[in-house]
Structure 1
Amino acid sequence: MNLNINVDDNEKLKTVTLSGEIDAYTAPKLKETLLPLTQEDQAVVKVDLEGVSYMDSTGLGVFISALKSTKEYDSQLTLVKMNDRVYRLFEITGLTEIIDIETDSTVRGGM
């Protein structure tokens, strides 16, 4: 399966809506799209993961790179609408402690 990426660029708020699978094959495309958004001074980047059915460690690496970029550029990264399976991946790796995840919009009972 592929990864579909849609970016809504509204001044300082960038919303990235993802659907499909984030793996070794699709992660480079995500990184190529996401990192430049986090490199805009004081940008707020929200990543909607509701449509993501699968993610592996390569995908986690992209979000870690994006988080590091936000620190450099004084921007902000928030992940929203994760299904339980994807949220669990962030949880077991400890990334829920360092990445801003809106859990109230986490999709329960996901894939």
Structure 2
Amino acid sequence: MTMDKLTIRTEHMDGQVIVYVSGEFDLEVAGQVRSAVEPLIELADRRLTLNLQDLKYIDSTGIGILISIVKARHARRAPFDVEHVPAHIKKLFDMTGITQFLTKSESSI
């Protein structure tokens, strides 16, 4: 799915779905991101991973969506993590305290 500011690409692998998010993740694209990710949240038998390597910007709306994904996956006892977070985005995650909920772990969430 491509929007002017954001691109979302999904890759299904054995036991895992990787969502590649590129560009700017903000209020303007929040609805489209939700539409793309919500069906994947239901796949409790697969690890859901967001790859943010090419993410340039995220605002509080984007962070809120990440938190809602964490909560929904936790409720389903389904693994969720974020990988390849750019340094400037990781700094924001650290400041908001959500980093601990977005890291890979083989144990339950």
Matched, 1:89 2:98: no
Alignment of 1:1-111 (within 5 A): 2-100=5-103
Q: Residue 11 of structure 1: CA displacement?
A: 4.7
CA deviation profile, 1:5-64 (whole Å, cap 9, x unmatched): 000122530010111100001122112212321211232011110111011000001110
Gaps of 5+ in 1: 103-111
57-66 or 33-42: bigger deviation? 33-42
Separation in 2, partners of 1:78, 1:30: 16
Q: What residue identity is the alignment partner of 1:75?
A: A
Separation in 2, partners of 1:101, 1:56: 23
Gaps of 5+ in 2: none
Given the two structures, how large is their TM-score scaled by the length of structure 2? 0.84
Q: Residue 91 of structure 1: CA displacement?
A: 0.5
CA contact (8 A) 1:46 1:77 kept: yes
- Helix, strand or coil for the counterpart of 1:50? coil
CA contact (8 A) 1:38 1:76 kept: no
Q: Residue 65 of structure 1: CA displacement?
A: 0.7
What CA RMSD, in Å, does the superposition of the two structures yield over aligned residues?
Answer: 1.7
Separation in 1, partners of 2:28, 2:14: 30
User: Cα gap change, 1:34/1:65 in structure 2, threshold over 3 Å: closer, same or farther?
Assistant: same
Identity %: 25
Q: Residue 101 of structure 1: CA displacement?
A: 5.5
